[in-house]
A = this chain, B = another copy of it.
Amino acid sequence: MTSSGPESAPGPIDPRVVRTRHDILSAALKILVDEGADAVTHHRLAQAAGYSKATLYKHWRSRAQLLHDAFATFDKTPHHLPTGDVRVDLVAELTTFRRAIEEYRLDRTLAALVGLTASHPELEATRVKIVTDGEHVMRAVLGHVLAGPQLDAAVLMLCGSMINAALLHGRVPDDDVIAAGVDLVLAGTEFR
């Protein structure tokens, strides 16, 4: 029952199709951030991206599929490449996180994703993937100086301070607040 022969191999990917999909998904995330999750519909997206509704329905039969693929383009959160200096690396990673919040409105994208999981539980896996990827550098760097509940608390606090500030306070922390947070956490470790 295994298939073989060229007809079973995935066909070549048409670069025009890739570009079309990318254009539309980028427009979907922009609408999500600017106008809220309610606005991400085939109708509104056809308007905004300049494609026909028929084209949109050809690529995504349901709103759920469309939302899934739009969030999937958020897979690659930018990260700092650790140098080995824990303090420097924590400050740099938080600064990179802050830039992602400002440039891509990562905070609003995440809040919308969480809000949508109530009605679209299939988006849970996307949430887990984005969060795991988003915090893995922070966790690795802090893992040099903390373990167990202390490590969990430190990752939750440092990432959480950015999310809290951006989402609930409507502004990201400045350099002084980022440095103060890192120093508070490191003062509680062997590394000081």
Is the CB–CB distance between B114 and A184 below 8 Å?
no
Residues of A within 8 A of B (CB): 33-39, 108, 110-112, 114-116, 118-119, 124, 127-128, 131, 148-150, 152-154, 156-165, 167-170, 173-174, 176-181, 183-189
When the two chains form the complex, which single residue of B34, B156, B180 contacts A165, counting CB atoms closer than 8 Å?
Answer: B156
Is the CB–CB distance between B167 and A153 below 8 Å?
no
Provide the bound-state CA to CA distance between A165 and B163, in Å. Answer: 11
Is the CB–CB distance between A36 and B164 below 8 Å?
no
Is the CB–CB distance between A161 and B168 below 8 Å?
no
Give the interface SS of chain A, mostly helix, strand, loop or mixed: helix
Is the CB–CB distance between B169 and A161 below 8 Å?
no
Shortest distance between the CB of A111 and any CB in chain B (Å): 5
- Point out the residues of chain B lying under 8 angstroms from A178, CB to CB: 153
> Which residue of chain B is the closest to A158 with respect to CB atoms?
B157
Is the CB–CB distance between B131 and A168 below 8 Å?
yes
Shortest distance between the CB of A120 and any CB in chain B (Å): 8
Provide the bound-state CA to CA distance between A164 and B134, in Å. Answer: 12
- Point out the residues of chain B lying under 8 angstroms from A177, CB to CB: 149, 152-153, 156
> Which residue of chain B is the closest to A119 with respect to CB atoms?
B36
Provide the bound-state CA to CA distance between A164 and B39, in Å. Answer: 25
Contacts A184-B153, A188-B187: A39 and B161 contacting too (C-beta < 8 A)? no
- Point out the residues of chain B lying under 8 angstroms from A35, CB to CB: 118-119
Is the CB–CB distance between A114 and B168 below 8 Å?
yes
Shortest distance between the CB of A161 and any CB in chain B (Å): 4
Shortest distance between the CB of A174 and any CB in chain B (Å): 8
Contact sample, A vs B, 9 pairs, CB 8 Å cutoff: A36-B115, A36-B119, A108-B115, A108-B118, A115-B115, A153-B177, A184-B184, A184-B187, A185-B185
